[in-house]
Structure formats: structure tokens, C-alpha cells
């Protein structure tokens, strides 16, 4: 019964979430662009960049929730897909610098000139066209996820084992991208971007557009995931999560379902990374750090796994907390984050979103105690 109620609650939220996201970002962008800097309601530029960052994280969390919350694959390597998409965008932005780099080389990015490279490596070809770069933002993470998933799911690597090898995957990529001779800028990564699609990245208007683009992408993917999880396909995914063997015995090709969702989720993460890079202005191998991927998992856990709005709320809440904490009490941030991990897993298995129904149930109980006649609910909804 609670589950039904939860369903109703979610269905109402379905259109509300994109509306809130789009409306909110439009309002913020307008306050930033239209008001003079000294107006009381003016939103400073850094808030725009910060919000854009949060929305990209939210999209990453959404992609992670799709595999963890709905198919039960806990990926500890989603940061790798995010970073790969980011690198694809970074490569495009590097090529847009052209002769404005420190060394003024029209073809080679600065770090290649610095390393005495004579010509562009083959895998950088075509990145001066946005269409090619866009394709690669989806293709690079998607292809990696496809190959990896194909191998892993076919040989039925599941549960914790899968989590650990996804972690090894992002760790190996971290090491690889740290190398200078990989041709991705090594330790320093790619930075010093000038413009995207001909628009100066320093301009307030460009930043606002990027924020709106992030909001639009997030909303679009949210609606798409909503459709997907409510379809027959989505029901099979949940079946795979809850009883994999049973789903297999019923004749579903569990591996294929997993592979499709895993690859799709990687593409989502890649696009999130691609939008993240122009807004923060840098991509470096640190994004591959396994700790980042695990942090993304905690956003999902805080928000509530297995719901689509949960990861969005979780990512924004935790990152907002991180911004506040690292500004005021940088020492305490890791204590807070560590504590959050433990607290959420022990006391809030359904996350923030899960608090709502249990709050309603508590309320109903109280009313009942006060003498109201209400239909009874079990306080805990079983999965």
C-alpha cells in the first residue's frame, strides 16, 4: 500500500522535477544576467558555475542510480565514464584555443609543444569539429562500458566482485592518464580553455547558457529514465535486481538487459562530464580517482536509491554541504562525509526521499492515537 502511495507521490513529482530544475535555473540565470551587479537580488557569476557543477553531478548520480538502484549493479567506476566524457570535451576545447596558446602553435596544444611533440596523435584528429567531439563524448564512455559490461556480465561477475573490478578499471585509467606520453596532458590535464562553439567561456552569458544546457540535459534524462523505468523494460530491470536467477529462469536475457542499461548509464555519465568541464574550466586525471566514484555513490544513497528524484536531491545536497564545509571548516569535511556514509547506510537505507513516506506513516499513526479513524498502514514498506 505504501508502495502504491509512493508510486502516486512519484507520478505527481514526475513533471514537477524538470519544472523546478528548469524554472530555478532560468530564474537564477536571469537574476545574474539582467540585474546590475550592485542590485540586492543579483546572483554573482561563481554561483552560476557552482550550480552548473551541481547539476552535472546530479546527472552523474542519476546515471549511477539507474544501474545501482534499478539493476543492482554497484559501479565504483562511474567516475571513469564521467571523466572520459570530460576529456572528450576537453580535447575539443583544447583544439579551439588555436594560436592563442602560450606557444601559439595553431595545431598542437601547449603541453604537446612543451613535450616536443611534432604532430598531433591520431586519436586527436577530428576533435576540432564539435560534432565529432559530441559523438566521442557519448561513444568513448559508451564503448568502454559496452566492452567491459559484455565481458563482466557474460561471465556472471556480480555483486561485490563487479564493484571491485569497476574500481580497478577507474584506478587503471587514473594511472594511465597520469602518464605524459598518453597524450592527454598528463598530471596537469587539459585547461586554459578559451571558447566553446565560438562563445567566449569567460562571458556571463556563456556560463548561463551552459547552466541552462545542464539543466535541460538533466531534465531530459530524468524524463527519459522515468519513462524507461515505468515501462515493461523497467519492470524487468527491477526483477533482475531483486531476483536475478528467477528472472533468468523466466526466460529473460539478464545479461543483455544489464549491458544495455550499463552502457546507457555510462553515456549519461559521459555527457555529464562533458558539460562539467567547460563550467569548471579544467579536466585532469584526478577525476578518475576511485574515491570520486564512491563519493558519487553516497550522493545516490543520501538521496535515496531506486528513485529517480533521490539522486538529484542527494547530489545537490551533499555537494552544497561540501561547498559550505570546505569553505568554513575544511578540517571537518571528511569527518562529515565519512559520518554521512555510515549514518545513511545504518539509519536511512532509503535516503532522504524515503523519509517522506515514513514521515507520513508516522503522522498517520499519531492521528490514529489522537482518535482519528484512518486506514492503517504498515510503517515499513518491504521491498
**Contact, 329 vs 71, CB < 8 A?**
no
For residue 18, give Cα distances in angstroms to 31, 86, 216, 249, 328.
Answer: 20, 24, 8, 38, 32
**Contact, 40 vs 306, CB < 8 A?**
no
Cell of 383: 521491498
Q: Which residues contact 130 (CB under 8 A, 6 or more apart)?
A: 92, 197
Q: Which is nearer to another protein, 342 or 370 (CB)?
A: 342
Q: Which residues contact 37 (CB under 8 A, 6 or more apart)?
A: 44
DSSP 284: -
Q: Tell me if 309 contacts another protein by CB under 8 A.
A: no
Tell me whether residue 284 is exposed, middle or buried, using C-beta atoms within 10 angstroms of its C-beta: 0 to 12, 13 to 18, 19 or more.
Answer: buried
Q: Tell me if 152 contacts another protein by CB under 8 A.
A: yes
User: From the list 146, 178, 252, 356, which residue makes contact with another protein (rule: CB under 8 A)?
Assistant: 178
Cell of 97: 584555443
Smallest separation (angstroms) from another protein to the CB of 337: 6
Q: Which is nearer to another protein, 152 or 259 (CB)?
A: 152
Q: Tell me if 146 contacts another protein by CB under 8 A.
A: no
Smallest separation (angstroms) from another protein to the CB of 231: 26
Smallest separation (angstroms) from another protein to the CB of 358: 18
Q: Tell me if 35 contacts another protein by CB under 8 A.
A: no
Q: Tell me if 163 contacts another protein by CB under 8 A.
A: yes
Cell of 87: 576529456
B/e letters for 254-263, b = 16+ CB within 10 Å, e = fewer, are bbebbbbbbb
**233-292: contacts with another protein (CB under 8 A):** 290-291
Find the part of the chain contacting another protein (CB under 8 A) among 211-219, 260-268, 269-277, 293-301. 293-301
Q: Tell me if 165 contacts another protein by CB under 8 A.
A: yes
**73-102: contacts with another protein (CB under 8 A):** 74
**341-360: contacts with another protein (CB under 8 A):** 341-342, 344-346, 349
Q: Tell me if 381 contacts another protein by CB under 8 A.
A: no
The footprint of another protein (CB under 8 A) covers: 74, 148, 151-152, 154-157, 159-161, 163-165, 167-169, 171-172, 175-176, 178-179, 290-291, 294, 297-298, 301, 331, 334-335, 337-342, 344-346, 349
Amino acid at each position: 500500500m505504501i508502495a502504491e502511495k509512493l508510486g502516486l507521490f512519484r507520478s505527481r513529482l514526475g513533471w514537477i522535477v524538470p519544472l523546478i530544475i528548469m524554472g530555478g535555473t532560468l530564474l537564477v540565470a536571469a537574476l545574474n544576467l539582467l540585474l546590475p551587479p550592485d542590485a540586492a537580488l543579483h546572483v554573482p557569476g561563481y554561483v552560476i558555475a557552482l550550480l552548473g557543477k551541481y547539476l552535472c553531478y546530479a546527472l552523474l548520480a542519476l546515471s549511477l542510480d539507474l544501474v545501482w538502484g534499478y539493476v543492482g549493479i554497484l559501479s565504483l567506476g562511474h567516475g571513469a565514464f564521467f571523466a572520459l566524457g570530460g576529456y572528450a570535451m576537453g580535447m575539443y576545447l583544447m583544439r579551439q584555443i588555436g594560436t592563442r596558446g602560450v606557444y601559439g602553435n595553431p595545431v598542437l596544444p601547449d603541453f604537446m609543444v612543451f613535450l616536443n611533440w611534432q604532430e598531433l596523435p591520431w586519436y586527436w584528429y577530428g576533435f576540432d569539429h564539435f560534432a565529432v567531439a559530441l559523438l566521442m563524448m557519448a561513444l568513448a564512455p559508451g564503448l568502454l562500458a559496452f566492452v567491459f559490461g559484455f565481458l563482466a556480465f557474460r561471465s556472471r561477475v556480480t555483486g561485490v566482485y563487479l564493484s571491485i573490478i569497476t574500481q580497478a578499471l577507474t584506478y587503471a585509467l587514473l594511472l594511465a592518464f597520469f602518464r605524459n606520453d598518453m597524450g592527454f596532458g598528463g598530471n596537469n590535464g587539459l585547461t586554459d580553455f578559451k571558447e566553446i562553439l565560438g562563445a567566449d567561456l569567460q562571458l556571463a552569458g556563456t556560463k548561463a547558457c551552459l547552466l541552462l544546457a545542464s539543466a535541460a540535459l538533466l531534465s531530459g534524462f530524468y524524463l527519459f529514465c522515468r519513462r524507461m523505468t515505468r515501462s515493461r523494460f523497467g519492470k524487468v530491470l527491477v526483477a533482475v535486481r531483486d531476483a536475478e536467477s528467477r528472472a533468468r529462469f523466466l526466460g529473460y536475457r539478464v545479461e543483455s538487459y544489464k549491458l544495455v542499461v550499463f552502457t546507457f548509464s555510462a553515456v549519461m555519465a559521459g555527457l555529464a562530464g562533458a558539460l562539467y568541464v567547460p563550467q569548471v574550466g579544467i579536466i585532469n586525471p584526478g577525476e578518475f580517482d576511485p574515491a570520486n566514484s564512491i563519493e558519487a555513490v553516497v550522493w545516490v544513497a543520501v538521496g535515496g536509491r531506486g528513485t529517480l528524484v533521490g539522486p538529484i536531491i542527494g547530489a545537490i545536497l551533499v555537494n552544497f554541504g561540501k561547498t559550505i564545509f570546505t569553505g568554513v571548516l575544511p578540517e571537518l569535511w571528511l569527518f562529515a562525509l565519512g559520518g554521512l556514509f555510515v549514518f545513511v547506510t545504518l539509519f536511512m537505507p532509503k535516503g532522504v526521499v524515503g523519509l517522506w513516506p515514513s514521515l507520513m506513516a508516522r503522522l498517520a499513526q499519531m492521528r490514529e492515537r489522537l482518535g482519528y479513524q484512518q486506514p492503517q498502514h504498515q510503517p515499513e514498506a518491504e521491498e
